[in-house]
Amino acid sequence: MRITVFGTGYVGLVQGAVLAEVGHDVLCVDIDADKVAGLEAGHIPIFEPGLEDIVRKNHSEGRLSFTTDAARAVEHGRIQFIAVGTPPDEDGSADLQYVLGVAGTIAGHMAEPKVVVTKSTVPVGTADKVRARMAATLEGRNSDLGFDVVSNPEFLKEGAAVADCMRPDRIVIGTESAETEEMLREVYEPFNRSRDKIIVMDVRSAELTKYAANCMLATKISFMNEIAGLAERLGADVEMVRLGIGADQRIGYHFIYPGAGYGGSCFPKDVKALIHTARENGFEPTLMQAVEDRNDTQKTVIFEKIRAHFKGDLKGKTFALWGLSFKPNTDDMREAASRVLMEALWDAGAKVQAYDPEAMEETQRIYGDRDGLTLAGTKEAALKGADALVVMTEWQAFRAPDFDMIARRLSTPAVFDGRNLFDPDRMARKGFAYYAIGRGLGGPA
C-alpha cells in the first residue's frame, strides 16, 4: 500500500521504516529540511537499536523515501499518518498546532479521498478538531472530497522502538467506519499473524487509551518511589519489597523499579495533559496530580543525598556522572533526571564530568560549552579526580564496573546510585560511602 507519514521523529521514522520493511511503499515528510537531507543521505538522527539497518535497506530498495514537499507527500498515500509532536503547552495541555497544521496541509493538497490516521498522542476530541480543520480547508477550496479521520495511538518504547513496532502487543484502531477499519487491517496485517492484536473501538476511547496506558505506567513508578522513600525511613529495603510484591501475578515485576524519577518525552507530558483534560472537564485528577508531584520530588532525591553527604558544601566539588539519557538504549534526554541533577549541582557551585554511551552529542547540543560541564570520552575518564560518582541511567555498561578502579580514581570513595544497580553490602565491603534509592539511609561504610 502507498502510505504517507508526516513527521520523522521517534514515532514517524520508526513506524515508516517498519511499514516499508513489510513491503508497503512509504514516503515520510518533515518540515525539518536538514533532517530530511540527512535521512536521504543515510544519516539517522536518533539512536534506536536496529533502526539504521532497516532505514538504509528500505531506502536503497526504494520502499522508503523522505521529502519536505508536502504536496508530493499528500499525493503519495491514500493513507496519511500524522506522527508529529504534541509538546506540552504552558498550562500542561497538549499543543495541537503541529497536528492541526498537518490536517490543514492534507486538506489543502488532496485531490482524492484520504484516510487520515492520528498516531501522535492527542487529547480526547482531537479527531473532531482534525475533521473540522480539514472540512474548513476543503470548503475554502470549494472541494467536496471525502475523508475519514482515525485514531491509531502508538505504544512503542524508546530504546526498543523497532522491536515494539515489528511485534506490537496490541494495535488500537479508533474508527466507526467498517471500510476504514478494513483498510487499516490491511496495513497492519503483517504484524497481526500470531494472534489478532487489533482492537477496534470508537475514536474517543482510542484517544483516551493512550493516555490511560502511559499514566498507569507512570503511576506504578511513582507508587514504587513513594514506597522507596518510606522504606528508607523505616529501615526496610525496597528491592526486597519489589521482589515480594512482584511475585503476585496481579502486580507483576514490570515497571516497579524505584529510581531517580521518570523522564522522557511521553510520561511527564502525558500525565500533565491528562490532568489538564480532567480539570477542563470539571473532574479533579487527584491520583494523577499525586503521581506528578511524587515524580518532581523524586528527581531531587539524589541531589539531596549528595548535599547531605557533603554537609551542604558543594562549591568547587566535582562529580562524575554516569548516564545522561532518560533511560538506557536511547540518546533522548527530554525531561531526563540527569538534567535536574546537573542543574542543581551547578547552582550549588559544583562541576560535572559526564559520560553516556549514546547521549554525548545530545548533551553537547543542549548545554554547549557550559561552565562546569566536562564531557568525558569514557566512563573511566569521567571519574578522574572527581569527589564522587553518581549513576543516573541504568545502562548495561554501568552494571558491573571495576570498583577498585573507581575507588582509585575518586578523591573520596562515595557513590550515589539513582538506579539501584549495586549491592549495598558489597559497596560497604569495598569501603564506599554508598547511597541508593529506598535501601536505608546510606552513608560511609
Q: Could you give the residue numbers annotated as active site?
A: 266
In the complex, least distance from residue 118 CB atom to ligand NAD, rounded to whole angstroms: 9
Interface with ligand NAD by CB under 6 A: which range of 80-88, 125-133, 251-259, 423-431? 80-88
> Binding of ligand NAD at residue 325 (CB under 6 A)?
no
Tell me the chain's radius of gyration from C-alpha atoms: 24
CA–CA separation, 422 vs 435, rounded Å?
10
In the complex, least distance from residue 92 CB atom to ligand NAD, rounded to whole angstroms: 14
CB of 107 closer than 8 Å to CB of 133 = yes
> Binding of ligand NAD at residue 83 (CB under 6 A)?
yes
CB of 43 closer than 8 Å to CB of 79 = no
- In the complex with ligand NAD, which residue's Cβ is closer, 30 or 292? 30
Cross-strand pairs, 82: 6, 118
Residue count of the chain: 445
> Binding of ligand NAD at residue 395 (CB under 6 A)?
no
Longest Cα separation, the chain: 78
Q: Which of 10, 267, 326, 355 binds ligand NAD (CB under 6 A)?
A: 10
3-state helix, strand, coil in the chain (%, to 5): 45, 15, 40
> Binding of ligand NAD at residue 266 (CB under 6 A)?
yes
- Of residues 108 through 147, those in contact with ligand NAD by CB under 6 A are 120-121
In the stretch 13-32, what mask flags binding to ligand NAD with x, by CB under 6 A?
----------------xxxx
Retrieve residue 62's grid coordinates: 526504494
Q: Strands 373-375 and 351-355, how do they pair?
A: parallel
Other CB atoms within a 10 A radius of the CB of residue 349 amount to 12
Q: Which of 4, 58, 86, 318 binds ligand NAD (CB under 6 A)?
A: 86
- In the complex with ligand NAD, which residue's Cβ is closer, 132 or 445? 132
> Binding of ligand NAD at residue 85 (CB under 6 A)?
yes
CB of 353 closer than 8 Å to CB of 376 = yes
In the complex, least distance from residue 5 CB atom to ligand NAD, rounded to whole angstroms: 9
Task: Give the residue at shortest CB distance from ligand NAD.
Answer: 9
Q: Give, rounded to a whole angstrom, the gap between the first and last alpha carbons of the chain.
A: 63
Binding site for ligand NAD (CB under 6 A): 6-12, 29-32, 35, 83-86, 98, 101-102, 120-121, 154, 156, 158, 265-266
